Amino acid sequence: MPVWTAPDTPVLQRVFDAHVSATGTEPTQRADTPGTWVVAGANADHFGGVIAVGLTDLRLAVAVSPRTDADFCIYGNFADAAVPSDVAERASTLVTTMMGRQMLSRDTQGMDITVVSDIPLGSGLGARHSFDAALALALSSRDPEANTAPVRTRLAEVCHQAGKAGGYHVLRARHTAALRGADSSVAVIDYSDVSLTQAPHPQRSHFRVFSVAATHGTPQTTEPALIASRELYDSACANFGVNSLRQLPDAGDRVAEWVATVRDVKGADAALDPDRARSWIAYGESESSQGENVARALRSLRPQDLISTLAEPNAHPELTTPDSLLELISLRGATVVRPATPGMSDAVIAFVDAARADEFLRTLDGDGLAVVELRPGSPASTPSS
């Protein structure tokens, strides 16, 4: 069972060479971004809570050159797998959104875009989110302030808005962490006020961390139940005039009463059942609380506090979890193992005591699983940054 590793040649150099080979033209702009992994609080993102996101040392790079027509042509690969079919549409939607935000000229035409990714699809590491962030940064790379916090904040937001406009479902914290994170740290994002702070990587607490999946190479989709919960959060925030449901006192009861009224007026298909709505509010609150507690444990550098917090069960009955894989990885010696992103990925994240990590990998040998070690990474960059 080989652990997935990236080639030694920097990904920015490889994407340059691949772009020249594919198009016969040197790229005019390039950027690379890290893979991201959720430490805790994955489904607090849309709820407006606290989510902790780590950066990996595996990276994805894009190279861009202009075309004279309106086509978006995509070349390259995602960790030896074909480029997902939705990537060209994601690129087009992102460009359109950036033009609407006056971050690109309205005269922008089509583009040749080459992507070289060391982040395997299906690993729970947000490869397509990394593509969004890398492309947004590459297209902004001529801006002398592209590496400042305000511009990167705008880029993360435009990636999120492009996802909404395009109808694909993103975890906006991945874009934020990839663009605004810090070296060897975990980004802690509180969406009640959109603040970002940093916490030490679990490596500082003497753990090695692994993504484990049945296989790599296939992009995964967001489950309908999770999409419904996000729509509930968004519509409830709009109805009550808050940026985050954490700002709404007695959110569970008030949202349940509100959806009941909507159903009475517009019919049962117009809103979630009140009990379902209440359960999703409780789940968002629980996810946010766990995100806060994990960030606190990381900062304390107390390994037992971190593990006990990560081990707290926090599932929603409507979301699928890879139970068989979770059980297997636990039996193989992981200190604690969690779903990578419930409702969005079938991968799991294993935290293993550093002293036992090599033995853990040996016990996995023969299981035929796809494994990635999540070493600390650094945020998005351009060749000049």
Lowest-confidence pick of 55-59, 97-101, 167-171, 205-209: 167-171
Give the tens place of pLDDT for each residue, 25-58. 999 999 999 999 999 999 999 899 999 999 999 9
Q: Give CA–CA dist 213/347, Å, rounded.
A: 4
- Which pLDDT tens digit goes with each residue over 67-110? 989 899 999 999 989 999 899 999 999 999 999 999 998 888 88
Reduce the DSSP state of residue 243 to 3 states and report it.
Answer: coil
pTM of the full structure: 0.95
Q: What H or E segment, with its residue span, contains residue 245?
A: none
pLDDT over 90 percentage in the chain: 88
**3-state DSSP percent of the chain in helix, strand and coil, to 5:** 45, 20, 35
Angle, CA 379 vertex, CA 369 and CA 83 arms, to 5°: 50
Residue 314: the pLDDT is 85
DSSP letter assigned to residue 44: G
